[in-house]
Amino acid sequence: MEGAFYQRHLFVCLNQRENGERACNNSGIAEEVFHVAKQHAKALGIHGKKQVRVNRCGCLGRCDEGPVAVVYPDAVWYTYVDADDIREIVESHLRDGIPVERLRI
C-alpha cells in the first residue's frame, strides 16, 4: 500500500471486565499473545515503519467470539487459543499476506 505508514496493523483486544461478563483478556491470554505477536514480528524483521505494527486495544465489540484480534487495512478478524495461533497469524498474514482461514471469524 503506497504511502501507508504501516502495511498492516494487528490489533489485539486486551479488554477485561470485573463483573464476570465475557471479555477477551479475562483469562490473561490476550496480554500474553500481544507480547508474543510483537516479539515474533520483531524477530522476523517485519515490525516497524513501512512494515507492520502490533498494537493492544480496548474492546472491539466481538466479545462472544473472543479472544479476538483484527488485521487492518485487510479487515480480517481472528480468534485464537494460544501463542502458537498468534505466531501463525504473524507469519502467514502479517509477513506473507495470507490470512489464516482456520482462525477467521
Q: Residue 97 carries which side chain, given as an amino acid letter?
A: G
Give pLDDT, residue 20.
Answer: 76
Instruction: Look at 63 and 35; give whichever has higher pLDDT.
Output: 35
Please tell me the least confidently modeled range out of 1-15, 33-47, 91-105.
1-15
Strand residue runs (E) in the chain: 8-13, 52-57, 68-72, 76-79
Domain spans, the chain: 8-103
CATH of domain 8-103: 3.40.30.10
Range list of H helices, the chain: 29-43, 83-89
Under the banding of pLDDT at 50, 70 and 90, the label for residue 26 is confident
pTM of this structure: 0.93
**Which residue carries 500481544 as its cell?**
34
* Residues 48-62 pLDDT 10s: 999 999 999 999 999
pLDDT at 28: 86
